[in-house]
Structure 1
Amino acid sequence: MPSANNTPAVLWISAHPEPSSLNGSLRADALDHLRRTGHAVLESDLHAMGWDPVVRPRDGAHQADASQPFRVSTDTRAAHLAGTQPIDVSASMWSIHTGGVDMER
């Protein structure tokens, strides 16, 4: 994904609660390497945003109906197109779409 000025760009998405963990250390080292090698780095920290990683029927605006199963891909896509996704999902998608994710955190 190139940035506006044609600099290579990377969107780094993380969701780990502990920055001093192995996961956090690998993230920090990788981001440092990317920046040193000339990449524009966009970050999105799902844990810091309070992101809920569990997909539930309500995320797809699915009504509890035993006769119709929750179809994750189909129902969440329909909710996206209808503008009925939960606000945290919509906000995150908008932020990524518009490039408003955390820069150079």
Structure 2
Amino acid sequence: MNILLVYAHPESASLNGSLKDFTVKHLENAGHSVQVSDLYAMKWKTSLDADDSLDSINGEFFDAVMSSRQAFDHGRQSEDIAIEQEKLRWADTVILQFPLWWFSMPAILKGWVDRVYANGFAYGVGEHSDTHWGDRYGEGNLAGKRAMLIVTAGGWESHYSARGINGPIDDILFPIQHGILYYPGFDVLPPFMVYRTNKVDQAKFIDITHELGQRLDHLAITTPIGFRQQNGGSYAIPQLTLREDIAPDRSGFAIHIE
């Protein structure tokens, strides 16, 4: 299997750095081909702007959506974007690894998504009609591939439980798993979480890597999160609201999971 690991942590000697090294070695020892996009080491440009197109003109009005589309359609994207898109095409499975900073991913990883997910590549694809509203949420150019998050958090697991002060971890990760991953077509596997990172000693690290190794060994057969497919009949189109007979007395992120 071809596996792309997109890694976002500034310190190679950190817990995240050790987990990244373990993941790469474990996957390669199992016979997989692995590429790593180490965003800090790459000094990844975070902001999406006119310079992402080779045809940008100083002083010209910048329309992010149209500029992205034109550059993608005509092969005029900056080289770093095109390289990352090719990695995504190559990969059977994509792993995003990052520390949970202020309830989301680090800015450098969000910037990778902003720039690599070009119009025509990850969004803006498929017909829009009264019965089909684009190829997204279960369809799209990345359909048939799998994705998983490896996330570290400083707080206790109970802080991210159903009644925890930080909110349920599934809700916190929903914009990433349902939006960034499921939207362009990935089958999204349950995340691998590490809590209380400042309490991880050598013994705990061994336990964590044992559990992570098992997850990595089962990437191809793990049941994905059961997100409802947009064009599969669960949603009214073009309103894109869940049918009234599905989970009629519920609301929130969980209603979008079967």
Q: TM-score range by the shorter chain?
A: 0.5 to 0.7
SS class of match (1:19)? coil
Residue equivalent to 1:12: 5
Q: How much does 1:53 deviate?
A: 1.7
8 Å CA contact 2:9–2:17 kept in 1: the answer is: yes
Counterpart residue identity of residue 76, structure 2: T
What are the ranges of 5 or more consecutive residues in structure 2 without an aligned counterpart?
A: 91-258
1:1-105 equivalence runs, <5 A: 8-60=1-53, 64-65=60-61, 70-72=63-65, 74-93=66-85, 96=87
**1:37 to 1:10, Cα distance in 2 relative to 1, 3 A:** same
**1:32 to 1:97, Cα distance in 2 relative to 1, 3 A:** closer
Counterpart residue identity of residue 24, structure 2: L
Q: How many residues align?
A: 87
**1:9 to 1:51, Cα distance in 2 relative to 1, 3 A:** same
The alignment yields a C-alpha RMSD, in angstroms, of: 2.9
Q: How much does 1:24 deviate?
A: 1.1
Q: How much does 1:14 deviate?
A: 1.9
Q: How much does 1:41 deviate?
A: 1.5
8 Å CA contact 1:62–1:70 kept in 2: the answer is: no
In 2, distance between residues paired with 1:20 and 1:40? 24
Deviations 1:32-56 (A, max 9, x none): 2222333222222233222202111
SS class of match (1:80)? helix
Higher relative contact order (CA 8 A, sep 6+): 1
8 Å CA contact 1:13–1:46 kept in 2: the answer is: yes
Percent identity between the two aligned chains: 33
What are the ranges of 5 or more consecutive residues in structure 1 without an aligned counterpart?
A: 1-7, 100-105
